[in-house]
Structure 1
Amino acid sequence: MPRPWRPMIAAKCCTVDDGQVAVIGNLSRCRPTRSEFSKKVAELTSFRRLMSPSAELSSSSSARFNEDLSAAAAAGYGIGAGLYAFQLCELRAITHDFSSNYLLGEGGFGTVHKGYIDEKMRPGLKAQAVAVKLLDIEGLQGHREWLAEVILLGQFRHPHLVKLIGYCCEDEERLLVYEFMPRGSLENHLFRRISTALSWGTRLKIAVGAAKGLAFLHGAEKPVIYRDFKTSNILLDSDFTAKLSDFGLAKMGPEGEDTHVTTRVMGTHGYAAPEYVMTGHLTTRSDVYGYGVVLLELLTGRRAMDKSRGKSEEKLVDWARPYLTSSRKLRCIMDPKLAGHYSVKGAREVASLALQCISPTPKDRPRMSAVIDTLQGLQHLKDMAVSVGAWPTTPIVGRNAISAKSKMEGAANGRRRVSASAKLG
């Protein structure tokens, strides 16, 4: 018999800031009302490439869902043979009717609940914990985005993409069943006070894993632009292996001689590439920009957007950019939680890489394959900042940090003078 599990009770992640809904930490898209959603649903283009011109999406019946899948198959996109079609009553049972005690998180898409599947539910399906996403059809991600996840994750399998186990489509209900990721999101580990600080080695491992996930999508036969790369969409398994999740906004990349896809701007403020925000032009390099922002979050322990800080420090990219060009300046913005336990050379290389990724010019940003090569070469560096006197042994911030740094440098200079005098004597 499998070991019994206890529900992971999480505080609701949805917060309100300046009258806007911020979903799972820092999602800045506002949730539309039903009337607004109804007016705009026909205009959505985020997954139109998967549909034949005559296929009009519906959110009201399973029969229409089958038609949508047939249309997608005719366009060359299948949902994969490994997905299970679950009944709503089955998913209600394994989540205790979507009990709040089993809530893992919630956002514009709806809620995510933990459940447990036993080996008797489906032939060939092993007993395991799962995460069940119950989509809010009136919310940010409706039928079209739900269908995007079913098709994309149904056909793609990769160690750094979260595994989609199955789906449910009954009347108005849209649900997705994923593998359960026991360590939650990277966002929670970086920004929640209750979390133990991530070590430098773990941060590099996560950065490499997330880069491999993006590289796989970009290198697919029909390239996929993820479009919503951020810390809350990077999930971690028990070994801190990073896996990308939430593909509702993913879009097929340019085809033929096209250099970009023009689309309605969607995503998260602070992570979206400037050219995409300004023009709607979307390429795989747009994802690279978002990846660079996440690298900055891993370095600094700060959010991509933080309105609680002063205007000059509100947007991480603008605040951090001047500090990324030298090791001396970089020390001033490194995450205090690291307490100096990071590679000086490694941090400098990561900062340089982040600076390339957030370049205002898309063509100057590196490909994800080059990002992986750079990061993998940094994983075994042992030149810790605390061991070379470049960082205090305990986290110090603000003016105290500057004072402590001055004292450390003064003490080091004093020791050198004493040593020189002794030799002369």
Structure 2
Amino acid sequence: MGCECSKLSSCCWNSEYNEAVPQDHREENEEKGEADDLPAFREYSIDTIRMATSGFAVENIVSEHGEKAPNVVYKGKLDNQRKIAVKRFNRSAWPDSRQFLDEARSVGQLRNHKLVNLLGCCCEGEERLLVAEFMPNDTLAKHLFHWEAQPMKWAMRLRVALYLAQALEYCTSKGRALYHDLNAYRIVFDDEANPRLSCFGLMKNSRDGKSYSTNLAFTPPEYLRTGRVTPESVIYSFGTLLLDLLSGKHIPPSHALDLIRDRNIQMLTDSCLEGQFTNDDGTELVRLASRCLQFEPRERPNPKSLVTALIPLQKETEELRALIVQVPSHVLMGVPDVAAAVPLSPLGEACLRNDMTAIHEILEKIGYKDDEGAATELSFQMWTNQMQDTLNSKKKGDVAFRHKDFKAAIECYTQFIEVGTMVSPTVYARRSLSYLMSDMPQEALNDAIQAQVISPVWHFASYLQAGALFALGREAEAQAALKEGSALESKKTPNS
């Protein structure tokens, strides 16, 4: 006689979910294992990171909690056009530089397509920085709790759960079972809108590894007793994420478990999901969440068991397989397809065909209108003789640039730049183009990068980088810069 307990009770769960993973499931879990296209972990200089983030510009902050967060995350771009996310710890974190480097190097050995991979770190003076892949499509928290266009579909929520379980299984297999403060802000979406687990949570949050920064209502019960994170604690946090996915809200586990015990599952389910899944599917997800939230850590499943439990939910029938597996994530998420061709503006077309004359005409036509506040500052300081001489150098450079005397333009703009009293992205852009017209592409690239440091969202700086990279024969990087310039320009003139 089989067990007659409710599907939502716990007496039958251990034997059912802790069995060995079948071979076919194991093979599915291993697909897309190592991300071989990524560079090896390396240490970056602070100057490189400062340049990549435009001097840690406020415009480049991507942390959910903004500039005042203890550890701020910035977006940036390296010289090779690779986009990065940089986590900058506060000065009191990681006082032991050797411990920080050892921990970062260990995490940096992981390479998997379900992770946001750690590319490197920086440890100079009091600076402690982590450098990871940049994920452009926001966090799970934003898509789940603060959506604007559409609520997340059931199929996508199941995919998030599976990918997260697979990421945890991979980390566990590589000896990194501990994950600190697993929550909806730690899951981000890549270029193709596939969910990935942030590598930042694999690093200790504090010098002793005891940190657990979520609200106490969501904290694993054993953490309140011991103050330490264990692999079982990570599974508890995974259970809270399953509740997030099911409800579309951040519900305290104790309240959710009360609803489950009272069989009040409807109160737990996001009303936006109505008609998107069967009762059995919903029950199975609730059942798995309940297992993860067991008070006793030893009663919770391990990551491999999570993967085993989640795969059938996504492949129960041929029809469901077509719906969930074959539809790309960007379609389910309603985000643009990065592989689709982006129409280029006249400026972008000029860069693509290396038409320097057309670029010169456009740069000459826009003048200095993209120098935010620069003209006002310059006029304010005109009363000093030194500043008057500096302005004269700039004016002479502008005349030479207009008449295509690029050698003279380079000399005059250099005099203006070297004084260092004022900064102007347009001057750097004009000198960059002058270098390009003088067959000096490396100097042109350096100036285009400097223009972007001064004005991080100025599309012209990206276009000039593309022109210089094309001239240097760095085709792939040039295409990336061209794409970024086009994206920045479209944001500036959305109706054009």
TM-score (norm 1): 0.58
Give, in whole Å, the separation in 2 of the partners of 1:86 and 1:280.
Answer: 34
Cα deviation, 1:118-152, whole Å, max 9, x if unaligned, reads 43xxxxxxx32211222212369985885465123
Letter in 1 for 2:304: S
Does 1:114 find its partner at 2:75?
A: yes
1:25-174 aligned within 5 A = 82-105=40-63, 106=66, 108-119=69-80, 127-138=81-92, 146-147=100-101, 149-174=103-128
Match of 1:323 among 231, 248, 259: 259
Q: What's 1:283 paired with?
A: 230
Cα deviation, 1:364-402, whole Å, max 9, x if unaligned, reads 111111111111100135899xxxxxxxxxxxxxxxxxx
Contact in 1 for aligned 2:210/2:229 (Cα 8 Å): no
Q: What's 2:137 paired with?
A: 183
Match of 1:377 among 307, 312, 316: 312
Contact in 2 for aligned 1:83/1:166 (Cα 8 Å): yes
Structure 1, unpaired ranges of 5+ = 1-79, 120-126, 252-261, 305-315, 385-425
Letter in 2 for 1:242: P
Give, in whole Å, the separation in 2 of the partners of 1:245 and 1:164.
Answer: 9
The answer to which of 201-210 and 166-175 deviates more is 166-175
Contact in 2 for aligned 1:118/1:128 (Cα 8 Å): yes
Contact in 2 for aligned 1:162/1:179 (Cα 8 Å): yes
| Cα offset, 1:281, TM superposition | 5.2
The answer to which of 164-173 and 240-249 deviates more is 240-249
Query: Alignment partner of 2:128: what SS?
Result: strand
Structure (1/2) with the larger strand percentage: 1
Contact in 2 for aligned 1:148/1:248 (Cα 8 Å): no
Contact in 2 for aligned 1:186/1:232 (Cα 8 Å): yes
User: Structure 1's 285 and 378: CA in aligned 2 closer, same or farther, altered over 3 A?
Assistant: same
User: Structure 1's 170 and 264: CA in aligned 2 closer, same or farther, altered over 3 A?
Assistant: closer
| Cα offset, 1:299, TM superposition | 0.6
TM-score (norm 2): 0.50
1:175-214 aligned within 5 A = 175-194=129-148, 196-214=150-168
Give, in whole Å, the separation in 1 of the partners of 2:292 and 2:152.
Answer: 23
Query: Alignment partner of 1:182: what SS?
Result: coil
Q: What's 1:364 paired with?
A: 299
Give, in whole Å, the separation in 1 of the partners of 2:136 and 2:228.
Answer: 36
Letter in 2 for 1:91: I
The answer to which of 223-232 and 148-157 deviates more is 148-157
Give, in whole Å, the separation in 2 of the partners of 1:144 and 1:344.
Answer: 52
Number of aligned positions between the proteins: 275
User: Structure 1's 81 and 203: CA in aligned 2 closer, same or farther, altered over 3 A?
Assistant: closer
Give, in whole Å, the separation in 1 of the partners of 2:79 and 2:232.
Answer: 42
Give, in whole Å, the separation in 2 of the partners of 1:276 and 1:293.
Answer: 15
Give, in whole Å, the separation in 2 of the partners of 1:380 and 1:371.
Answer: 15
Q: What's 1:266 paired with?
A: 212
User: Structure 1's 335 and 278: CA in aligned 2 closer, same or farther, altered over 3 A?
Assistant: same
User: Structure 1's 151 and 343: CA in aligned 2 closer, same or farther, altered over 3 A?
Assistant: farther
Alignment RMSD, CA only?
3.0
| Percent identical | 30
Letter in 1 for 2:243: L
User: Structure 1's 149 and 240: CA in aligned 2 closer, same or farther, altered over 3 A?
Assistant: farther
Give, in whole Å, the separation in 2 of the partners of 1:213 and 1:370.
Answer: 13
User: Structure 1's 186 and 361: CA in aligned 2 closer, same or farther, altered over 3 A?
Assistant: same
| Cα offset, 1:223, TM superposition | 4.7
| Cα offset, 1:166, TM superposition | 1.8
Q: What's 2:241 paired with?
A: 294
Structure 2, unpaired ranges of 5+ = 1-37, 321-496
Letter in 2 for 1:266: Y
User: Structure 1's 234 and 249: CA in aligned 2 closer, same or farther, altered over 3 A?
Assistant: same
The answer to which of 239-248 and 226-235 deviates more is 239-248
Q: What's 1:228 paired with?
A: 181
Give, in whole Å, the separation in 2 of the partners of 1:145 and 1:331.
Answer: 48
Query: Alignment partner of 1:324: what SS?
Result: helix
User: Structure 1's 200 and 149: CA in aligned 2 closer, same or farther, altered over 3 A?
Assistant: farther
Letter in 1 for 2:289: A
Q: What's 1:354 paired with?
A: 289
Give, in whole Å, the separation in 2 of the partners of 1:266 and 1:141.
Answer: 19
| Cα offset, 1:279, TM superposition | 2.3
Give, in whole Å, the separation in 1 of the partners of 2:94 and 2:247.
Answer: 30
Structure (1/2) with the larger helix percentage: 2
Letter in 1 for 2:302: R
User: Structure 1's 193 and 218: CA in aligned 2 closer, same or farther, altered over 3 A?
Assistant: same
Letter in 2 for 1:280: G
Query: Alignment partner of 2:298: what SS?
Result: helix
Query: Alignment partner of 2:116: what SS?
Result: coil
